[in-house]
Amino acid sequence: MYLVAGHGITVGYHRCFTHGSFKPNRPLKIALAAAGSMAIEGPVLRWVADHRRHHAFSDRKGEPHSPWRYGESVPALLKGLGWAHIGWLFDVEQTPRAKYVPDLLADKDLRRVDAAFPALLLVSLLTPAVIGGLWSMSWQGAASTFFWGSIVRIGLLHHVTWSINSICHAIGNRPFAARDRSANVWWFAVLSMCESWHNLHHADPTCARQGVDRGQLDSSARTIWVFEKLGWACDVRWPRLVRIDGKRR
């Protein structure tokens, strides 16, 4: 459930719907939007609108979740990290969807998945409990899998996603020229399904692979590669050496 919902976010919500790193066929498009919804990070159109605004203003005025919002001093950064991690979710200002996601609003399938978010939320919460209950034929089994497969899994994935916004814009290596504070954080790669190569991502947002250097794992890119081999995805924007090297500091 962690990997399905997590890659629904990284491959679906992020690399496909926000940045157009590849074109999925219709069933894959719907499946990715539904899988991403099961991370319970909001309906697809709202998530994508917020993330496009993040790229449009990254670490500048107008950005929804920059850790540098309050300034550069240590106390200001600590306060900003709290804002970037979780505080911004309670901001009353909403990203206007008509301005940021007109392409997705024009897609009937995505509008339907977006509207089905409450139902997908229930599916995400209850699936582990149903499987655990049937597997063990006991209420205790259902309660146990609900705790680990729903509560812990969703909580962990939320903190991992939010850490990309907070940690990966505060500390780490910056080998690529991006116009913001985005950074690569190697020790966070596996858990974040390899979205923590975040400096490269801001330097080349539409690239389907974010871990472009030797030894940099990227399970999300590998998943896209499998979809391409199966014929479910096309027009994948794989990294080109000349383009990537041109973005190095």
Shortest Å, Cβ 168 to Zn ion: 6
Q: What angle do CA 156, 174, 74 make, to 5 degrees?
A: 70
| Cβ proximity to Zn ion, 145 vs 166, nearer residue | 166
Shortest Å, Cβ 180 to Zn ion: 7
Instruction: Using the rule CB under 5 A, give the single segment among 33-41, 70-78, 116-124, 177-185 that binds Zn ion.
Output: 177-185
Torsion from C-alpha of 196, 199, 201, 203, nearest 10 degrees:
180
| Cβ proximity to Zn ion, 150 vs 182, nearer residue | 182
Instruction: Using the rule CB under 5 A, give the single segment among 20-28, 103-111, 174-182, 234-242 that binds Zn ion.
Output: 174-182
Instruction: Using the rule CB under 5 A, give the single segment among 42-50, 108-116, 175-183, 223-231 that binds Zn ion.
Output: 175-183
Shortest Å, Cβ 29 to Zn ion: 18
Window 179 to 198, contacts with Zn ion (CB under 5 A) = 182
Distances in Å between the alpha carbon of 46 and those of 32, 80, 138?
15, 22, 38
Shortest Å, Cβ 58 to Zn ion: 6
| Cβ proximity to Zn ion, 48 vs 142, nearer residue | 48
168: amino acid identity, one letter: C
Window 196 to 235, contacts with Zn ion (CB under 5 A) = none
Shortest Å, Cβ 137 to Zn ion: 44
Site residues (CB under 5 A) for Zn ion?
182
